[in-house]
Amino acid sequence: MADVTKKLKLGIPKGSLQDATIALFERAGWRIFANGRSYFPTIDDSEIECMLVRAQEMARYVEHGALDAGLTGNDWVLENQTDVEYITSLTYSKQSRQKVRWVLAVPEDSPFQKPEDLAGKTIATELVEFTKRYFAEKKIPVTVEFSWGATEVKPPTLADAIVEVTETGSSLKANRLRIIETLMESETQLIANKSAVKDQWKRNKIENIALMLNAAIAAQGRVGLMLNARKADLDKVLGVLPALNSPTVSQLSDAAWVALNTILDESLVRDVIPKLKAVGATGIVEYPLSKVVV
């Protein structure tokens, strides 16, 4: 039974990542229930206590010990220069399963082609401290202003350029902006308080969460495939299968036949199954995956 005296204080990012994070936890085996007005969602694990915290502030609260662990982008860890333990990277975001980029963007019709062209100009961004350090390292004098939102609409009237986060670049293009430099790539991180990870129970709990979250991410877009084949056709069947790892091959009761079990990208199934059938495979079954531990 769970020891109800032990609690892991876990920060869930409030805002754009909230729904994607809660969905990821559900695929990993935890159900989180967030009331619209409460900052303390419930979770079906008596050993975890959740709190909704803005991603921008998460690392600070983890560093100070108000939270034992939390999920936030490494961009905000770098922005705040916080001293936390990185547990694992989790490549998911509100729209896709790819990293986001913080980019320097200018109006399409502006003369600016590189960061040096912005000397003496004004940059609007939410990532103020990192942007200041970036230009300082390049010895380019600029004014960096904090943007409270709608950053894409500020050039050229309210700022000469912006530093903004993007997944696809579509919002920038829609606002007639072009990218001239990528300042950093970022992805979600599970981070922990450095004192918390010295507690063996908390460290085990955090690492188990990391394992299951990664397993849920690894399963996305993949399916399992089971099939039977004659031993005589095995080499041809193996030549068709693009496996995550080598397929598992098991002997059937009929000595002339084997069973195969493998994992592959779902997008490949429509091409692979007809090829398997053509080389003699039978009893082909596709099944969904909820977690893949690699």
Per residue in 244-276, pLDDT tens? 668 999 999 999 999 999 999 999 999 999 999
Q: Tell me the C-alpha distance between 58 and 68, whole Å.
A: 11
Read out DSSP for 190-207? EEE-TTGGGSHHHHHHHH
Extract the tokens encoding 148: 């409270």
Res 1: pLDDT: 47
pLDDT at 244: 64
Which of 139, 179, 133 is CA-nearest to residue 155?
A: 179
Taking the mean position of all CA atoms in its chain, how far away is CA 97? 6
Residues of the chain with pLDDT under 50: 1
Full-model pTM: 0.85
By C-alpha distance, which of 257, 233, 258 is closest to 247? 258
Model pLDDT, residue 27: 95
Q: Which residues pair with 42 in a beta bridge?
A: 33
What does the pLDDT read at residue 95?
55
Q: What pLDDT, on a 0 to 100 scale, did the predictor assign at position 3?
A: 52
Residue 150 CA to chain centroid, in angstroms? 24
- Report pLDDT for 237: 95
